[in-house]
Structures are given as C-alpha cells and as structure tokens.
Chains A and B, each alone.
Chain A
Amino acid sequence: MRGATHAKWAACAVAVALAATACGGGSDSGGGGEAGIISSSWGDPQNPLEPANTNEVQGGKVLDMLFRGLKRYDPETGEAKNMLAESIQTTDSKNFTITLKDGWKFSNDEPVTAQSFVDAWNYGADVRNKQNNSPFFSDIVGYDDVHPASGEPKAKTMSGLVVKDPKTFTVALKDTFSTWPETLGYQAFSPLPKAFFTDHTAWLDKPVGNGPYTVDSYTKGTGMKLRKWDAYPGEDKAQNGGVDLKVYTDNNTAYTDLISGNLDLVDDVPAQQLKNVRNDLGDRYINQPALIIQTLTFPLYDPQWSKPGMEKVRQGISRAINRDEITKQIFRETRTPAKDWTSPALGEKGGFSATVCGDACVYDPAEAKKLIQEGGGLPGGKVTLTSNVDTGSHRDWMDAVCNSVNNALGEGPVCTVNPVGTFADFRNQQSSYKLTGPFRSGWQADYPLIQNFLQPLYYTGASSNYGKFSNKQFDDLVDQANRESDPAKAIAAFQESEKILAEQMPSIPLWYQNGSAGYSERLEDVALNQFSVPVYDQIKVI
C-alpha cells in the first residue's frame, strides 16, 4: 500500500510538471470518469470492515455490495426474501433448519457452505473478537459460552449451531422467536470465506465476499474501488461496471463535487443545501422514508419525571412541539412528523400506524399548557434538552423545539438546550443516567421489523432503554407478540403495546428521518433502501 503511494507520488510530481491535471487516479473525476463506473461519496467506516463489527451506514454500504446473506430485504418493500437460503424451516419457532441454495461461491472461488455461515457466526459471537454486533447472536444456544458477561469464554463455538452437511445447518434458539428468520437479512449474519480466518490482515486490506462486487483497491481514509464481479452467481447482478467510493470529510463538499460534475452520487444531502436541491438537481433528488426515528427520551430513573401525574407533563411537552413547522423549516421535509414509535418505511403491513400516538403527537399549545399544569408543572419550572452537537443538525432542531415549547407555554425561556461536545461524552452521560432532562435518542432499525423499534428501547431492562422505562403491561404484550407464530397477530400485539407508550409517553416521537440522495445526469434507476443506503447494484450508467 505504502509503496504504491510513493510511486503515485513520483508520478504526481511528473504530472504537475507536465500539466495541471489531477493525480488522484483517473477515475476520481467522477462525472467524466471511466465508462460504466459510478463515483459515490463515502465516509470513513468507524470500525474495521468486518460484517459483525459494522453497525453504521458507511461500512454497511460496502458490506451491502460485498456480501449476500441467507435473506435480503427487498429494497422497495423491505420484505425479507430468501437469498442464499433455499429454505428456513421450523416447527416450534425455536429450532430452525437452514438449507442453502446451490452454486453460491465467494469471489475467490471458494464455495459458500453451511460451514461458512457457522464459522462467521461463531466468530461474530466470540467476545475475544470484540465484534460490535455480537448481541445479534445472543438468541442462539451456547452464546454465553463464547460471550460470557465476564471472564474468559468457555468455548470457541456455540453449541446451538450444527452443520449437518455442506448445504444444511441447524440453529437452536434459547427462546421462541417467531420472526427470527426475518432478522437474517442483517449484515452481521453474512457468511465469511476461509481467507478471513487464515489471513485476517490481508482480508481487511482487501475484503473478499460473495456479493455482486469485488474490491479492486482499498486505501483506508481515502476511498475504495469496487468492480462488478462478472461471475456473480446471484440474480441481482450489478447493472454497472463498478463503484468508486470516495471518502469525504464533509457532506457539503461532496455535494459541491456533485453539482460541479466531479461526483455521481451523494447519499446524504447536507441540511444547508436542501433549500437549493431542486434548483441544482431537478428530479435527480431522492427523499424517502428510512427506518430511522428521532425521539426525546425522558429520564424516568429520575423521580421528578416519573412520579405519578408526570405522564401528563410529558404529553404536554409533546403537544407543545410544532413538528410540522420544524420539519418544514429546519429539515425542509427530509423529516416527517412522527405519529407513532416506528417508521413509515415498515409499511402498514409491517406495523407502522399513523394513528397510534393520536392527539398526543399533535401540536396544540393551549392543550399543552393545560396538560402541564394538570400534571403539576415542569419539574423545577424548567426543562433542559440534551444532545451531542458534533454531528447532524441537532442544535438547530433542539433550538427550534425549545422555542416551540417556550412560545406555547408563554412563560419565558423555561426550555433551554444543553449541547454536549462529543457523542462519546453524551453517550457516557446517558448510559450513566446522569441526565436530568429529556435527551435526544435516535434509532435506526437493524431490520425492518416492528419488534426492533420497540423491544430494545422500551422493554424493562432492555439494552437501549436509556430512560429506564418499565411497564408490566408493555412487557407482557411484547412477550406475547414474540410468541405469536402468525406475523399479523404478532404485529397487532406490538401495536397494542405502542398504545401504552402513547399513554405513558416515556419518549416523545419527534419525526421520522428520511434518506436523501442526489445524483448526476449520468445515472438512472437510483434508489435508496430502508437503511438509506443506495441500491448500487441496480444503478445504470448512461
């Protein structure tokens, strides 16, 4: 890698001497770049690019091109469709038998077998490998042996995973989990080739997977070149010659490159450009729902927020927030006012409901004032909103929310904003339960299931239940939903549990976050999936 850089350097010096041309490698100039290659904006992945260690969009973008799992979520409907899985069978929603399709292989010609999956999952679960997504395997029997809460693991493999033959393996879960197969589209469940284990460093330098693209070159911190894998056995073959991902440290810069013709695709239109985006791009702008919701969570571990009667105050604050105005003025319609605790990207069939929150999410200053008074007023007469401000436009909307509350209550600046400098600091304050006022919480679902929007956030003792909400009725309904083998009934039970959230208001649903993207005139058939990642393989280059 380094040697290549030096050689480039020398070449660069020559190039400077000869002409004022760009030296970043020919295809960097995007718009006018190599035929059939898409240049797209990228951010440096936060963690090494291992499937079980990637939990954010930038790394996920690459994994989506490099890997195909047992299932894949349809980019349009979000339905989990079999990809490598021939079938996933169960009789008790607890023991599953998974059969693979024929003909799948990794791009280094190694066939994808049942072992490829079992090895990958055992690797992801093993605490020694420090994979972020380990908890995704925690439903499998034997997880505690490879991932004990403390101390060294007792085993290297989970006893719940058994390879029957190269095409078949069985999975034993600890509890019934009727929708478990639906979770298998998540990238943490991808298969891994042997090279991943035998030469890990080399694999990280140039990942090898079984998806429609292969890695041509990867320069950390700068970019990655992916090329179409011609021998890709799947049906969703790449419709373009490849993708050059270019790392941008600022989405505004990427946008500038897009409108100046140096870049083909930006999958994150900066907030300050949203006002101009129609002008700049015309209809080459996408703005569609994603599986992301932003909420304000109340610190219910603090008695002044959780004592009886405070649910009225919490509802009152919710009703004092003019979501329509804020999503229009601050977010320029790239957020949609929230009406429940899930996301419209789930679809009505998936459990989204525009009526669950009801009046409690509708702006009504008079009613807000009345509710807060009935509930005994704001604790100490004021409320402080906390969020990190190092990313996103969090400060803008927090200011707007506070102004909205202040205007609605008409008692002067009772609502103030407490900006926190770094996400790490915010997260530490949040997880040590130090915050004494409502705080921002964003949730991007890992898979398009209503369960993922509710259970991890509001179930008693759940991992991301930062406000320590606890409600027996809610927990019972979630348990009941998880036992239902009929998906429709399960969803109905989850929606029932959401009604308790509407009554108790442990967190205020603010808005659903959309995915936004802009692209150059060279591209067509650009779409985003539910995770706001472009569906690269379907993009055509004119």
Chain B
Amino acid sequence: MGRYVIRRLLQMIPVFIGSTFLIFFMVYALGDPVAALFGDKAPDPATAARIRKDLYLDQPLWKQYLHYMGAIFQGDFGTAFNGQSVTELMAGAFPVTLRLTLVAIFFEIVIGITLGVISGLRRGRTVDTSVLVLTLVVISVPTFVTGYLLQYLFGVKWGWVRPTVSPDAPLNELILPGIVLALVSLAYVTRLSRTSIAENVKADYVRTATAKGLPRSRVVTRHLLRNSLIPVVTFIGTDIGALMGGAIVTERIFNIHGVGYQLYQGILRNNSPTVVGFVTILVIVFLLANLLVDLLYAVLDPRIRYA
C-alpha cells in the first residue's frame, strides 16, 4: 500500500510536466495577448514591443516554456496583466473554491446518495419517478437559470440569505452556491447510486444478511450501500475537477472570486502564467483526488488490493 502510494505520487512529475507544457502551448496557440491590453485603441507599437519583450513573448515557444518553468522552480508563477502575482491570485482563489467544492460535494453525497438509495429501493414507484423528473429538470435547465432563480427567491424576495458572497466567503454563505453548483452532479450521483442499489439489492449477500435477521437499516447501510458506492465514489472523484475549475457560472452569479473566474479571465486575456498556474494546481488536485478514490476502492471492496 505504502509503495503504491509513493509510486502514484511519483507519477505526478511527468503529469506535471506534460500538463504544464500542454496548457502553455494551448495558451500560446490562442495568440498574442498584447494588442488587447489597449482597449479599443490601437496599441502603441513601441510600448507593445516592450511588453512583449518583458513577457518573453518575442521568444520561440520552447524558450518561453523553459523560462516559465525555470521561474516556477524558484516559486515564481509570474504575474497577471493587472500586475498581481499569480501566486497571490491563487492564494485568494483556491481556498474559496475549495470550500465551495467541499460544500457542493457534501450536498452531492448527502442528498444524492439518499435520493439514490430511496429511489433504488422503491424502483418504479412514485418516489422513483419524482426523482427522475427532478433529474430531468436539473439537466435541461441551465445552471444560470437555477442559480439566478434560487438567488432571487432566497436572497432578494424572501431575504433568507445574502444574495452574494462576501470576499471572505464564509461557509454559511456558500450553502446556496454550493447547492447550485452541485445540482447537475446531483443528477449523476442520484442515478448512479439508484442503479447500483437496484442492482445489488437482490444480491446473495443482501439476502443472506436479511435472512440472518439483521434490521433493514443495517442491511442497507452496512451491506448494500457499501457495495454500491464504488461507481458513485469514482464519479465524485472525476467531478472534483469540473466543480473546481468549471464553476464559472455559479461563481459569477454569486460573485465568488474563485478559480473558475480567474481561469476564465486568464484565458480570455491569453495570460499564460495565470492559466498554466491555475491548471497545474488543478491537475495536482485531480491526481490527489484520484489517488484517494483508488484507495477508497480497497476500503469499500476489501477484495481489491494494491501492491
């Protein structure tokens, strides 16, 4: 187990290099960012040339990349165009987004699995159908609309919560955005756990457990749920990336200055230090999340072993 973890951690190095280069290349392919810094006015050629020189944009791609990587190893992730260092942006954005993601995952787990278990056990009944309808609504209505409606109802009309999140983004203000962010993933988690439960509910070990006279709740939580969780856990593992890097819409609606926003700005402004820096950290988060998921497999299903 220990060796397995170490091996997985070592695999991060090639992934780190690969993803930084890929993203660096992609931002490079977006084109020259300098002209857009001047607004509607034409850029002054001498000033633009100097900015390009300072950003190493006049160098060939591989030199730019080496220079960037060299700086990273000295702890310098570069600066965004507004003069803020990317490290500073990341220090501001990642904690907020991480909290938002955790809130979202919390709701995915609690609501999603609960609904999934209920509808899986009551397959084909009213409750199952209602959950299906909810799923459809969540999938077909854009996040912008659900987010905006919930914000309007809870924040403006009834005034139960602040409609927007303050800069420090305390957990209590992140509940509503967390739910909005979790909605689409909730659909997946619910359907996945429903299917797994429905599949396993007639398995031998469940029958055995029931026959042994165990109370139903214990059968469901200890035997049934545990064996049905692997697809759900896998999904949540893959979803962390989508939640952290792709929460642009939710973050905008609730004015959360998180990763999604910074990443989006960085991309729109072709700022490679911002984009590469943020994506690199995100990739590391995925790697850790996936490692965690793989280790959870062994916990949930003791037959699975890692050498």
Contact = CB atoms under 8 A, between A and B. Distances in A.
The answer to whether A and B touch directly, with their CB atoms under 8 angstroms apart, is: yes
A223 B151 CA distance: 22
Interface stretch (B84-92, B187-195, B218-226, B283-291): B84-92
B164 A256 contact: yes
Given A424-B33, A424-B270, A262 B164 contact: yes
A441 B42 CA distance: 11
Interface in A25-82: 25, 28-29, 44-48, 55-56
A12 B170 contact: yes
A259 B37 CA distance: 33
B47 A12 contact: no
Contact of B46 (A147, A252, A259, A444): A147
B54 interface: yes
Given A127-B50, A423-B36, A464 B82 contact: no
A425 B31 CA distance: 7
- Most chain B beta-carbon contacts within 10 A, residue among A24, A257, A464: A24
Nearest to B41: A464
A219 interface: yes
B168 interface: yes
Interface stretch (A129-137, A156-164, A345-353, A493-501): A129-137
Nearest to B171: A16
A146 B93 CA distance: 39
A31 to B, nearest CB: 12
B274 to A, nearest CB: 12
Interface string B119-163: 000000000000000000000000000001001100110010011
B49 interface: yes
B302 interface: no
A189 to B, nearest CB: 16
Interface stretch (B16-24, B100-108, B247-255): B247-255
B47 to A, nearest CB: 5
B35 A424 contact: yes
Contact of A56 (B39, B89, B164): B39
A427 B270 contact: no
A127 B46 contact: yes
B181 to A, nearest CB: 15
Interface stretch (A243-251, A319-327, A329-337): A243-251
* Interface range, A side: 35 or more
Interface in A134-150: 134-135, 147-150
A375 interface: no
A4 to B, nearest CB: 11
B164 A431 contact: no
A204 interface: yes
Contacts of A254: 255
B44 interface: yes
Interface in B253-277: 253-255, 257, 261, 265, 267-270
Interface residues of B, number: 57
Contacts of B50: 127-128, 130
B163 A220 contact: no
A281 interface: no
Nearest to A148: B46
A132 B163 contact: no
Nearest to B175: A20
A135 B170 contact: no
- Most chain B beta-carbon contacts within 10 A, residue among A44, A223, A441: A44
B51 interface: yes
Contacts of A488: none
A472 interface: no
Interface string A259-270: 110100000000
A47 B268 contact: no
A442 interface: yes
B36 A424 contact: yes
Nearest to B54: A130
Contacts of A223: 167
Nearest to B260: A249
B38 interface: yes
Contact of A23 (B30, B89, B168, B261): B168
Contact of B83 (A28, A131, A204, A247): A204
Given A45-B82, A46-B82, A390-B268, A127 B36 contact: no
B81 interface: yes
A490 B272 CA distance: 47
B173 interface: yes
A16 B172 CA distance: 7
A427 B35 CA distance: 6
A12 B168 contact: yes
Given A150-B49, A428-B35, A256 B152 contact: yes
B204 interface: no
Interface in B41-65: 41-47, 49-51, 54
Contact of B155 (A8, A132, A260, A425): A260
A262 B162 contact: yes
A502 B35 CA distance: 30
A254 B171 CA distance: 21
Contacts of B166: 22-25, 28
B199 interface: no
Contacts of B156: 256, 259-260
A15 interface: yes
A55 B83 CA distance: 15
A469 interface: no
Contacts of A431: 35, 42-43
Contact of A130 (B33, B51, B265): B51
Contacts of A247: 257
A123 interface: no
A47 B42 contact: no
Given A2-B91, A220-B88, A444-B39, 13 more contacts: A16-B170, A22-B173, A24-B167, A46-B81, A47-B82, A130-B47, A132-B37, A148-B46, A253-B252, A253-B254, A259-B156, A424-B31, A427-B35
24 contacts: A2-B91, A22-B166, A24-B167, A28-B166, A28-B167, A29-B162, A44-B82, A127-B47, A130-B51, A131-B47, A132-B38, A220-B82, A221-B84, A221-B257, A247-B257, A253-B253, A256-B155, A260-B155, A262-B163, A422-B267, A425-B30, A428-B31, A443-B40, A464-B40
